[in-house]
Chains A and B, each alone.
Chain A
Amino acid sequence: DIQMTQSPSTLSASVGDRVTITCRASQSVSSWLAWYQQKPGKAPKLLIYEASTLESGVPSRFRGSGSGTVFTLTISSLQPDDFATYSCQQYNTYPWTFGQGTKVEIK
């Protein structure tokens, strides 16, 4: 199975900060990577697919980049609604696998 490792596991930041989360795959997943946002008690929400394509309706402050084994999710200016857990997912090879999640909390 392809292992997905996110860093950091927890990130403390303030409103307006630029935030970057890294996702590393144990082998190449090409650009077949998605990012999700999840708030406590809620279902995940798709943010980005194919590594860098923004899902419709997602604010442009979210940006995804990378290919192969290293990917990043950047939030250009953190907003109050962005405090949540973010997870990456590879869909290059079955079984689809997720990173362990990165919790973005208020500093």
Chain B
Amino acid sequence: EVQVLESGGGSVQAGGSLRLSCAASGFIFNSYAMNWVRQAPGKGLEWVSGISGSGAGTYYTDSVKGRFTISRDNSKNTLDLQINSLRAEDTAMYYCAKGARVGGYFDYWGQGTLVTVSS
């Protein structure tokens, strides 16, 4: 059974940092891209960042470039998101989402970890 489980969320002041983690199981981790998708309270979904199965390719939405860093450890089946220079607009539920075998859609999602940024 595929499972992804996020951790690391919390409340932080603007300008601060957090490191989100995602533990994956039930599939060959290094064969799949992994992603972070966020959802601000009462808002729609926003893809934040993705990383290829090998880790060689990383991708970001413009609003987080230079502040967020995605990484993965294929020996531990974990995905991380280092979030720096947090802003109020980064407040959201952050979901870890497994990429599909072919294509950039997401076939399994975690339950999310909440990041709250106070100014």
Contact = CB atoms under 8 A, between A and B. Distances in A.
A binds B: yes
Interface of A: 1, 32, 34, 36, 38, 42-46, 49-50, 55, 87, 89, 91, 94-101
B61 interface: yes
B105 A34 contact: yes
Contacts of B46: 98
Given A34-B105, A43-B110, A87 B44 contact: yes
Nearest to B59: A94
Contact of A98 (B47, B107, B110, B111): B47
A43 B104 contact: no
The DSSP consensus for interface residues of chain A is loop
Contacts of B59: 94-95
A35 B78 CA distance: 26
Given A34-B105, A36-B106, A87-B44, 13 more contacts: A36-B45, A43-B110, A46-B108, A49-B105, A89-B105, A89-B106, A91-B103, A95-B47, A95-B59, A96-B35, A96-B104, A98-B44, A101-B44
- The interface centre, meaning the residue of B37, B108, B111 with most chain A CB atoms within 10 A of its CB, is B37
Contacts of A50: 103
A87 B109 CA distance: 14
B50 A55 contact: no
A94 B107 CA distance: 18
B45 A55 contact: no
Contacts of B111: 42-43
B19 to A, nearest CB: 21
25 contacts: A1-B62, A32-B103, A32-B104, A38-B45, A43-B95, A43-B110, A43-B111, A44-B45, A44-B95, A44-B106, A45-B109, A46-B108, A49-B107, A89-B45, A89-B47, A89-B106, A91-B104, A91-B105, A94-B104, A96-B35, A96-B47, A96-B50, A97-B47, A98-B47, A101-B44
